[in-house]
Amino acid sequence: GESVGLHLPTLSVQEGDNSIINCAYSNSASDYFIWYKQESGKGPQFIIDIRSNMDKRQGQRVTVLLNKTVKHLSLQIAATQPGDSAVYFCAENIEGGSYIPTFGRGTSLIVHP
Amino acid sequence: DGGITQSPKYLFRKEGQNVTLSCEQNLNHDAMYWYRQDPGQGLRLIYYSQIVNDFQKGDIAEGYSVSREKKESFPLTVTSAQKNPTAFYLCASSSSVATGPYGYTFGSGTRLTVV
């Protein structure tokens, strides 16, 4: 059945700090991963992706690390800003087929000025 | 500008009523999806459609129905059989299912509340 009232994991940081958000994925066959940012009352926005043939990928102020051994992803945000406050979640997928991606439940990032 | 539009942004339903959520895209995407988002949970797939006049059940299809009569439109009906419909509903589209989540464009969501 459905669960209600679950609380998202929350990460509170000070403006200017680095943030690390974690995600455990479930399917060892997954070969493509995305991080999304979702602001309150809005749809998710793509941040960064990584394929399973890589361990690390960098974007602007963001880095994604992939550890396939333990099926773990992390998103690092450098010099966190108040505008980074949002829910962040990962998605896992198997490329090239009709696989429908699985989305994680997310972490709420709160940035204090 | 191309995009995906969900309406209304907020919707209130009385118990026992059916309500329909609208999702329209002008991206010429073949695939469209409906997800439900509850507090503290990941997106859960309700229905998806790979092409006009075809759709498949997702993980939580019970109490929901869809149609795909036009490429641009994928409305979701929340029926009275859905016992706990209060949630945030997200529509997405992609050029095809094979593009995976990289190709997803999400709408801005509809928040449905049972009153």
Q: Nearest CA to B106 among B83, B90, B89?
A: B90
CB B112 within 8 A of CB B11: yes
Both tokens assigned to B77:
């009906």
Which one of A100, A102, A108 makes the best mutation probe of the B interface by having the most chain B beta carbons within 10 Å? A100
Residue found by looking up tokens 């009153």 in the block: B115
Percentage of chain B beyond pLDDT 90 is: 77
Cβ-based contacts of A40 with chain B (< 8 Å): none
Q: Does A52 touch chain B (CB under 8 A)?
A: no
The count of residues in chain B is 115
- Confidence at B1, pLDDT banded by 50, 70, 90: low
Q: Does A50 touch chain B (CB under 8 A)?
A: no
Contact between chains at A97 and B98 (C-beta distance less than 8 A):
yes
| H or E element in which residue A69 lies | none
Which one of B4, B23, B27, B37 makes the best mutation probe of the A interface by having the most chain A beta carbons within 10 Å? B37
Contact between chains at A4 and B97 (C-beta distance less than 8 A):
no
Q: What is the mean pLDDT of chain A?
A: 90
Q: What is the mean pLDDT of residues A59-85?
A: 96
Q: Does B42 touch chain A (CB under 8 A)?
A: yes
**How far apart are alpha carbons B37 and A17 in whole angstroms?**
29
First and final C-alpha spacing in chain A: 40
Q: What is the mean pLDDT of residues A28-56?
A: 93
Q: What is the mean pLDDT of residues B54-74?
A: 97
